[in-house]
Structure 1
Amino acid sequence: MKENEPQRPPLVRFLGGRTSIFVLSIVLLIGLIIMVFSNISFIFDPLSGFIGTVALPVILSIVGYYLLSPLVNALQRYKIKRGWGILLVFVVLSGLITILLLTILPFLRDQTEALIASFPGYARQLGMDIDMWARNSPFETQYMEISKNMQTNAEEFLGSLTQNFSDIAGQTLDSVTGLIATLTNFIVSLVTVPFILFYLLKDGTKLYNGFLHVLPPKMRGRTGAMLIEMDEQLRSYIQGQMLVSLCIGIMMYIGFLIIGLDYALLLAAIASVTSVVPYLGPVIAITPAIIIAIVTSPFMVLKLAIVWTIVQLLEGKFISPQIMGKSLQIHPVTIIFVLLTAAHLYGVVGVLIGLPTYALIKVLIQYLFALYKHRYNRFSEKETDRYAIVENDDHV
């Protein structure tokens, strides 16, 4: 210890110094806040209901903003006023959606109805194939025991259905009522999306500048850098993911047509939609295709495997690196944990928004840690710090 350095109390030295005490105090304070809120959570029920109501239209509007803002900006560069450019984009988009509904959607609907009608037959044929294979395999004894247990459980389940019919009917009625309420909320959300989206496209920059000018001048530079990075993360993820999904859908449709797989358009559409979920999406998408291929013929399974492998290689090695790069900079293991946690907490919506939300939280934590370093500086502040303090930020 240096001679001029003041003597610290033994407890402070034991806890690692004042910086460690500060961090420990913050952790304890967060734990205390969580404990208090968990005991008075009923106070926040109205707030959670409000957030649940506005979350869907806001999320859809943000996605639409990042998809349509490049078109609006391009029209503005051609001397078209921003408001008129937004209306023009809306008109063209409405026309494209109408054409899609009148052409592709009926064909997609017919394939969906045909697949639903044929699926019991596919499932029955698949069960017969599995039964035949299992009876002629070394696992015949175990298979027969499992089949017997499943039959017993099925009989018990049917018996419980008969005994508890009134309860089941009441639960079904409640489910139908809940479904109607959910559909109503969804329709209302869809109606409000164009209005929110219009003002986001028109006044998005004003919102950014207005928020910065509310802050103290010394915080504007650092906070502006944080918001810009958040914007870039969301923009690259949403735009890139949508383009990658479109490419996967087109490649799958062409591949399914080449090998002659039934319901090619429907299966390609499923693959395109589910591809927005990394790692888990392809597994979900290939399941119905595998069932149809197995029932069709063993050779169809081989052809499906070839098509799927080629598409995944093209997407992983060429399309995603070129379009998205490493936009979120998240480790694959972290991605899986985030998706599983988000799915457990918020279901399908959590899976869709889990990764971009995690990326935004990551940027926010980096920002807060930069503030901590500046206030309690035991590390040397580098000039290359992305959130370096701006003392004079008149340019913001």
Structure 2
Amino acid sequence: MGDTTKGGGLMRWMIGIGLAGLLLVSYFLLPILSPFVVGFIIAYLFNPVVTRLDRHGISRTWGTSLIFLVGALLLLVGLIALIPVLIEQTARLVRVFPQLLDIVQQRVIPWVNQTIGVELHVGQLRDLLVKHGETIGKMLADGLSNVSTTGTAVFVAVMNLLLIPVIAFYLLRDWPRVVERIEQMLPRHRAGTIVELARESDQMLGNFLRGQLAVMIANGVTYSIGLTLIGLNTGIAIGLFAGLVSFVPYLGTITGVGLALIAMYIQADSLWPLLLVVLVFGVGQVLETVAWQPRFVGNEIGMHPVAVIFAVMAGGQLFGFFGILLALPVSAVLIVLGEHALDAYQQSRYYRGRDARALPPGDSSGDGPVADAGDEARD
């Protein structure tokens, strides 16, 4: 009995050390893991579709091929239709900011000097921006020169882009076998619990990711159409950008409103069209609240907006761009694990007291079995 306990403890230590080593190696391999992470996300998102096709008699190989074919066609059509427009509008948007500086110098600064009596000088600000702009431009030029000389960074970037669909294809095709192999590696006495946790996490995570992607697309389309209808000539670029960053609460609206107000004021040289910009984003927020979020996401993740903002910022601080992308999915899984840990804690003797009997699952009240135990003790 003692040898069995000792062997079990040694195995747990070995598993813990192995997992810690795996995390450490993954951290150092982050620069080359990006195509695998993106490929895994793509496979995870489209696995339910391929599984449904498989149930209707289409093999996973053919189902995966069909998904990739349709996706490639949609991407090609989108590139042909949107890329020229986005390039033109983005260039037009970039040209807005020097014009904004001129307006600040010619209109805002004199008004502030006259109204408040504080003399401001925009010349120093302009010189500072020009100086730093030249420095940044020189750094970018040097970087591009080094890239063109060595070619390594370009080669790595191209290889990553080519690897993403390949990795996603094989993971999507072999998804059931990958899951089965992982399940076979689980300790038998814990397999049921781990599988149940994985299923709950998968349900929350899958619904949230697909729903949030749909909300981002819906927001981008809504903002783009609205801004274009009111005559903003950079409406598509601003609208799509605002939709893209709308996975962080209010960030898409704040950045979109700011950019659209500046662009519209430069374009129209009047304050009245700015009310139309505010109206577009107001309608977009109402649609997101009453239509997109309930329809596509619901309450799948159940995180407070402040917690969402913290999770995204923490992910970016720890793991960069991919940390931002994965912050909310990881938080969704941690919520599931946290709920099970809370249930286990509320069933423990430490929570209920030494003489309390076990509570039914999910019942954390102080009444019921705990009170009954006290009554029995008094009897």
Q: TM-score range by the shorter chain?
A: 0.7 to 0.9
Aligned length, in residue pairs:
337
The yes-or-no answer on 1:241 pairing with 2:212 is yes
Superposed, 1:308-347 pairs within 5 Å as 308-347=281-320
The yes-or-no answer on 1:173 pairing with 2:142 is yes
Distance in 1 (alpha carbons) for counterparts of 2:309 and 2:301: 14
The yes-or-no answer on 1:359 pairing with 2:328 is no
Partner of 1:212: 183
Partner of 1:64: 42
* Structure 2 counterpart of 1:120, from 98, 112, 127: 98
The SS at the match of 1:61 is helix
**Contact 1:244–1:319 (Cα < 8 Å) also in 2:** yes
State the TM-score, normalizing by the size of structure 2.
0.76
**Contact 1:66–1:239 (Cα < 8 Å) also in 2:** no
Partner of 1:306: 279
Q: Which has the higher contact order (CA 8 A, sep 6+)?
A: 1
* Structure 2 counterpart of 1:255, from 226, 237, 258: 226
Structure 1 residues 168-205: Cα deviation after superposition (integer angstroms, max 9, x where no partner): 96796358647976554433222111122122222222
Distance in 2 (alpha carbons) for counterparts of 1:267 and 1:51: 31
**Contact 1:277–1:351 (Cα < 8 Å) also in 2:** no
Partner of 1:53: 32
Shift in alpha-carbon separation, 1:185–1:234, aligned structure 2, 3 A:
farther
Partner of 2:198: 227
AA aligned to 2:117 is E
Distance in 2 (alpha carbons) for counterparts of 1:65 and 1:225: 21
AA aligned to 1:293 is M
Distance in 1 (alpha carbons) for counterparts of 2:322 and 2:107: 36
Structure 1 residues 215-234: Cα deviation after superposition (integer angstroms, max 9, x where no partner): 22221111011111221222
Shift in alpha-carbon separation, 1:133–1:320, aligned structure 2, 3 A:
farther
Superposed, 1:1-396 pairs within 5 Å as 47-54=26-33, 56-137=34-115, 139-141=116-118, 144=119, 147-148=120-121, 151=123, 173=142, 177=146, 184-295=155-266, 296=268, 297-367=270-340, 379=352, 381-384=358-361
Distance in 2 (alpha carbons) for counterparts of 1:169 and 1:343: 27
CA offset at residue 362 of structure 1?
A: 3.4
CA offset at residue 339 of structure 1?
A: 2.4
AA aligned to 1:384 is P
**Contact 2:223–2:242 (Cα < 8 Å) also in 1:** yes
**Contact 1:276–1:352 (Cα < 8 Å) also in 2:** no
Distance in 2 (alpha carbons) for counterparts of 1:257 and 1:121: 21
Distance in 1 (alpha carbons) for counterparts of 2:43 and 2:117: 58
Partner of 2:6: none
Shift in alpha-carbon separation, 1:314–1:140, aligned structure 2, 3 A:
farther
Q: Which moved more, 1:200-209 or 1:189-198?
A: 200-209
CA offset at residue 208 of structure 1?
A: 2.3
CA offset at residue 374 of structure 1?
A: 7.5
Show structure 2 runs of 5+ residues with no match.
1-16, 364-379
Show structure 1 runs of 5+ residues with no match.
1-32, 387-396
**Contact 1:261–1:300 (Cα < 8 Å) also in 2:** no
**Contact 2:243–2:252 (Cα < 8 Å) also in 1:** no
Shift in alpha-carbon separation, 1:376–1:319, aligned structure 2, 3 A:
same
Shift in alpha-carbon separation, 1:61–1:168, aligned structure 2, 3 A:
closer
Shift in alpha-carbon separation, 1:152–1:94, aligned structure 2, 3 A:
closer
Identical residues among aligned pairs (%): 24
Q: Which moved more, 1:278-287 or 1:194-203?
A: 278-287
Shift in alpha-carbon separation, 1:82–1:46, aligned structure 2, 3 A:
closer
State the TM-score, normalizing by the size of structure 1.
0.73
Shift in alpha-carbon separation, 1:308–1:161, aligned structure 2, 3 A:
closer
Distance in 1 (alpha carbons) for counterparts of 2:359 and 2:251: 40
CA offset at residue 289 of structure 1?
A: 1.0
Distance in 1 (alpha carbons) for counterparts of 2:336 and 2:235: 41
**Contact 1:277–1:352 (Cα < 8 Å) also in 2:** no
AA aligned to 1:74 is R
**Contact 2:89–2:233 (Cα < 8 Å) also in 1:** no
**Contact 2:238–2:256 (Cα < 8 Å) also in 1:** yes
Structure 1 residues 32-90: Cα deviation after superposition (integer angstroms, max 9, x where no partner): x9xxx9xxx9xx98653313311x22331233124322332332233111111111111
Distance in 1 (alpha carbons) for counterparts of 2:132 and 2:39: 46
Shift in alpha-carbon separation, 1:316–1:160, aligned structure 2, 3 A:
closer
CA offset at residue 161 of structure 1?
A: 10
RMSD (Å) for aligned C-alpha atoms? 3.6
Distance in 2 (alpha carbons) for counterparts of 1:200 and 1:159: 49
Distance in 2 (alpha carbons) for counterparts of 1:203 and 1:233: 22
Distance in 2 (alpha carbons) for counterparts of 1:113 and 1:216: 57
Shift in alpha-carbon separation, 1:127–1:84, aligned structure 2, 3 A:
farther
**Contact 1:67–1:238 (Cα < 8 Å) also in 2:** yes
The SS at the match of 1:215 is coil
